Structure 1
Amino acid sequence: MEFGVFSVGDLTVDPTTGIMPTENERIKAHVAIAKKVEEIGMDVFATGEHHNPPFFPSAPTTSLAYIAAVTERITLSTATTLITTNDPVKIAEDYATLQHLADGRVDLVMGRGNTGPVYPWFGKDIRQGIPLAIENYALLRRLWDEEVVTWEGQFRTPLRGFTSTPRPLDAVPPFVWHGSIRSPEIAHQAAFYGDGFFANNIFWPKEHYQRLISIYRERYEHYGHGKSHQAIVGLGGQFFLAKNSQDAIRQFRPYFDNAPVYGHGPRLEDFMEQTPLIVGSPQEVIDRTLSFREWAGDYQRQLFLIDHAGLPLKTVLEQLDMFGELVLPVLRAEFAKNRPADVPETPTHASRLAARTARGSEAAGPAHETARAA
């Protein structure tokens, strides 16, 4: 079971001080947070992709490449790579390059994003969001899996004898999750390819995401990738910690009320009741997070949003220190209990390379035996 942090990369005024961080400060804060994630023993740092204010992470491969240079162990991921508005050729090239620089510590969450205006900015039609996601990802897979690609589709110019460079590290492309908060077609797509499904369940009640996860698990088994309980599932979440729940709610309320993601909407207490937002003591964070398994099944990755809504970097780092000391060890131990032995861990570059090597050895076995006999 992996634990990590994802960031939407918002630029928001701190409502308690009236201070807005600069883009420079927030970009460098991403680096500091990723280093802290590794320091406290978490497993993943993920950044979103946005091309509009109040968000800054428009070039995730650049920031992740820098983070790769100052970390050693954590997986570097995207919280969303816009498969609809990015050219699949550029995605193939950029993330293969990042994969080499990070020695394989890279995976991606493919998504359509939740900002409508981004489509015309990149010459796309939002009404074609699902077909774009399906076609672009099919092309991306071929670009990574095949040395020479000849292809023609609906949404971009044809390719004739094209080779994407650099090639994926060890001929093993980055592992892909498909992220969705509303589209069963994306859950189906993830299952078809045997990829992961990331349900970023931070906005709506669990029943909505439970349906998407159920579709993904059922189709994962249908397509022959394994049993439904072996499908690769990730969940989002949010927390704000204090010694007791009263202090946590008092400290976090002004940030919640002004957050660009959900501020000026429901009350904090209502949002906490209906979504995975956990504002409280360490034990409350532990108990609520463990409850996710009751409706999502055994899953592989839990990411938390913690650096948004104007929270200063100092506070975010303190939150991570508290989480690493008081919450993370308990979650690791409790999630490991009664976990079926056949539920896989998140695929890594090393595990996928080993599996490919094993398949190659099995396929070559009879030929080797024949050669030896001759």
Structure 2
Amino acid sequence: MTAVQFGIFTIGDVTVDPVSGRRPTENERIRMMTAMALKAEEVGLDVFATGEHHNPPFVPSAPPVLLANLAARTERLLLSTSTTLITTNDPVKIAEDYALLQHLAEGRLDLMTGRGNTPSVYPWFGQDHRDAIPLAAENYALLHTLWRRERVTWQGEFRTPLQNFTSTPRPLDGVPPFVWHGSVRSPEVAEKAAFYGDGFFVNNIFAPTGHYKPLVEFYRERYAHHGHGAPEQAVVGLGGQTFIKPRSQDAINGFRPYYNNSPVYGGGPALEEVAARTPLTVGSPQHAIEKTLEFREIYGDYQRQLFHVDHGGMPLEAALEQIEILGTEVVPVLRKEMESIRRPGVPDAPVHPAVPRD
């Protein structure tokens, strides 16, 4: 593993391809996500991460199941979530599911907690979205404790009490999975990540480039305040979105139908305008390298960069091409460049001690 981990993430949407007019089946979409992960390992990327959704048009409702399948089919790839819903999942179930998955993956497992952005999901799991922030805080406090204490007696506001409870299996070699706290806008999330000494992952996709700099700086300051190390030792991850072709104009032309088809981008400003002012990267490999290096200039040294590559109904062949270009033309240069300018004392990307670092 390298000082900075590079990988891909998916939200697993089942969307009509605006070019072919075809909508994949759920089975095809699930198999597409699997193929993307296998391709990521083949071309030397470090991480594959999946979102968690419980509503159409998304299919990844059970990330541990998908990641367990990938654990059996990969050897080196780190497996992660790009959201584990800390609000609507029972922390006891999270503790046990991901500890078991950590064993199956021989340590190649971490996760990113988040509140999610679909209020309608909360009542399906017996919760109220108006309690999202205190619910997330309470559930994560319990999860953190369950992985670090063998017998837990606990009482909170949102679930039944526990008496001398032991979650099983215990984390691999006594080391819990590393946790990233994902955020779109909330300083409460940055504070929680800093308090526990965990990683902080910022969305860094749709907002203007540099929008999250104050939030990252706040996290770094609070990380130091809570005694985990200097601000530059805090563990930061960034999202991103790419569409790359050998020629930039071909990338723009190829991505435009998917951009226009997007529920987020469609109907808004032109592709060129959004790509110019946000982290959306549409262009040549060199353009992708230069734009990603700008992230480092803005946020400082960081430990994980994930790219979204299967947007808006994009077919498998196009997504695999993106992964190939990232793995062979973009990421090797980024690794070299980021390593050459990394400041002394900045920690490597986190991995379980059981995972080889070479």
Cα distance, 1:203 vs structure 2: 1.6
CA contact (8 A) 2:289 2:334 kept: yes
SS of structure 2 residue aligned to 1:185: helix
User: In the alignment, does 2:58 pair up with 1:55?
Assistant: yes
Quick check: 2:107–2:354 contact (8 Å CA) kept in 1? no
Who is 1:338 aligned against?
341
Q: What do residues 309-350 of structure 1 show as CA deviations (whole Å, max 9, x unaligned)?
A: 111101111111122222111111111112123101122111
Would the alpha carbon gap of residues 72 and 261 (structure 1) be closer, same or farther in structure 2, given more than 3 Å must change?
A: farther
Mark the structure with the bigger radius of gyration. 1
CA shift for structure 1 position 7? 0.4
Inter-partner Cα distance in structure 2 for 1:351 and 1:286: 31
Residue 233 of structure 2 aligns with which residue?
Answer: 230
How has the CA–CA distance of structure 1 residues 206 and 94 changed in structure 2, closer, same or farther, with 3 Å as cutoff? same
The question of whether the paired residues in 1 share the 8 Å contact of 2:181 and 2:189 is answered with yes
Instruction: Give the gaps of 5 or more residues in structure 1.
Output: 355-374
Percent identical among aligned pairs is 65
CA root-mean-square deviation:
1.4
- Indicate yes or no: 2:175 matched with 1:175: no
Partner of 2:120: 117
Number of aligned residue pairs: 354
- Structure 1 residue 351, shift from structure 2 partner: 7.3
Q: CA deviation at 1:353?
A: 12
Q: Could you tell me how far 1:29 is from its partner in structure 2?
A: 1.0
CA contact (8 A) 2:54 2:60 kept: yes
Paired residue for 1:361? none
**1:71-150 → structure 2 map (5 Å cutoff):** 71-150=74-153
Aligned to 2:49, the other structure's residue is in SS state strand
* Equivalent in 2, 12, 17 of residue 14 of structure 1: 17
Alignment-derived partner of residue 330 in structure 2: 327
Which of residues 280, 283, 308 is equivalent to 1:280? 283
Aligned counterpart in structure 2 of residue 195 of structure 1, from 178, 198, 217? 198
* 2:100 alignment partner AA: T
CA distance in 2, matches of 1:268, 1:125: 37
2: distance between equivalents of 1:196 and 1:353? 20
Alignment match, 1:291: 294
Q: How much does 1:267 deviate? A: 2.1
TM-fit CA distance, 1:261: 3.8
Q: Which residue of 2 aligns with 1:241?
A: 244
Q: Structure 1 residues 3 and 353, CA, compared in 2 at 3 Å: closer, same or farther?
A: closer
Distance 1:89 1:263 in 2: 39
The residue type equivalent to 1:300 in the other structure is Q
Does the CA contact (< 8 Å) of 2:54 and 2:61 recur in 1?
yes
Alignment of structure 1 residues 151-166 onto 2, 5 Å:
151-166=154-169
The structure-2 alpha-carbon separation of the partners of 1:39 and 1:230, relative to structure 1 and needing over 3 Å to count, comes to same
Give how far 1:217 is off. 0.3
State the partner residue of 2:255.
252
8 Å contact from structure 1 (residues 45, 76) kept in 2: yes
Structure-1 separation of matches of 2:224 and 2:355: 19
Give the whole-Å Cα distance in 1 for the aligned partners of 2:44 and 2:226.
35
- Contact kept in structure 2, 1:10 and 1:54, CA below 8 Å: yes
Check whether the contact 2:17–2:315 (CA below 8 A) recurs between aligned residues. yes
The whole-number CA distance in structure 2 between the counterparts of 1:125 and 1:326 is 46
User: For residues 189-234 of structure 1, what are the alpha-carbon distances to aligned partners after superposition, in whole Å with 9 as ceiling and x for unaligned?
Assistant: 0000000000011121234311110110000011111110110000
Instruction: Specify the code of the residue in structure 2 equivalent to 1:54.
Output: P
2:49 matches 1:46: yes
Match of residue 64, structure 1, among 64, 67, 81: 67
Q: Is the 8 A contact 2:245 2:284 kept in 1?
A: yes
Matched residue of 2:168: which SS?
Answer: coil
Tell me the amino acid that sits aligned with residue 278 of structure 2. T
Match 2:267 to one of 258, 264, 268 = 264
The residue type paired with residue 286 of structure 1 is I
Q: One-letter code of the match for 1:155?
A: F
SS at match of 2:200: strand
Residues 31-66 of structure 1, C-alpha deviations (whole Å, 9 max, x = no match): 111111111111000000000111110000000000
Q: Is the 8 A contact 2:303 2:348 kept in 1?
A: yes
CA 324–75 in structure 1, closer or farther in 2 if over 3 Å, else same: same
* Residues 46 and 79 in structure 1, CA contact (< 8 A), matched pair in contact too: yes
TM-score (structure 2 length as normaliser):
0.96
CA deviation profile, 1:231-276 (whole Å, cap 9, x unmatched) = 0000000110112111111110010111234333332122212221
